[in-house]
A = this chain, B = another copy of it.
Amino acid sequence: MRNLKAFYMLAALLLLSVAGVTQQNPPRAVPEYTSDGQMKLPSHYREWIYLTTGFDMSYSEAAMQMDHRMFDNVFVNPEAYRAFQETGKWPENTMLVLEGRRAADKGSINKRGNYQAGNTMGIEVHVKDTRFPGGWAFFAFGDGTTAKMIPVARDCYSCHLEHGAVDTTFVQFYPTLLPVAKDKGTIRSSY
């Protein structure tokens, strides 16, 4: 009888414990697609691991024709980040999210320089998945929550393939990952 009581108490504890895991751990992030092959925007990417921010970056000498300046914030899903820390390599289902934000200048007490204001202005996701040719694909989201894959002929693929420091990704611009890739020996020799 005492064993039975202990059994039920343990069963209750076990259930509570499992419930606790469910509550505290966000669901494992895996790329999701619609039935017609569009990618669904990962809904909680802002709670993923932050990699870096660029300001008005451009890979072309020509000035961009924009009436405003831009920040780009980069996030990666936590599982991929942890794998990279351990191996210097991106695992299957890695998702790198590039989020544009308008750069405001004067506002509140800010007198110089720029801060981020308002909603996102475009989101791009770079996904590692062996089902794609080359093993990676880009998706560009506008205001919607689904996006078609960017065709493989577009510049982003060839540029990332040619210049990405690690496996078509721009680890050369991610200050916390660059030393890891160097340490693990997974970086291109030119970096």
A binding-site residues for B, Cβ under 8 Å: 3-4, 6-7, 10-11, 13-14, 17-18, 20-21, 24-25, 46-47, 49-50, 52-61, 63-64, 71, 73, 75, 78, 81, 101, 103, 107-119, 159, 163, 165, 170, 172-173, 175-176, 191
Query: Closest CB-CB distance, A73 to chain B, in whole Å?
Result: 7
> Which single residue of chain B is at the shortest CB-CB distance from A81?
B47
Contact residues in B for A13 (Cβ distance below 8 Å): 14
Instruction: Kindly report how many copies of this chain are found in the complex they form together.
Output: 2
- Is chain A's interface secondary structure helix, strand, loop, or mixed overall? mixed
Residue A117 contacts which of B159, B170, B175 (CB distance < 8 angstroms)? Answer: B175
Contact residues in B for A53 (Cβ distance below 8 Å): 53, 71, 73, 116
> Which single residue of chain B is at the shortest CB-CB distance from A120?
B175
A-B contact pairs, 5 of them (CB 8 A): A7-B7, A53-B116, A54-B110, A108-B163, A117-B173
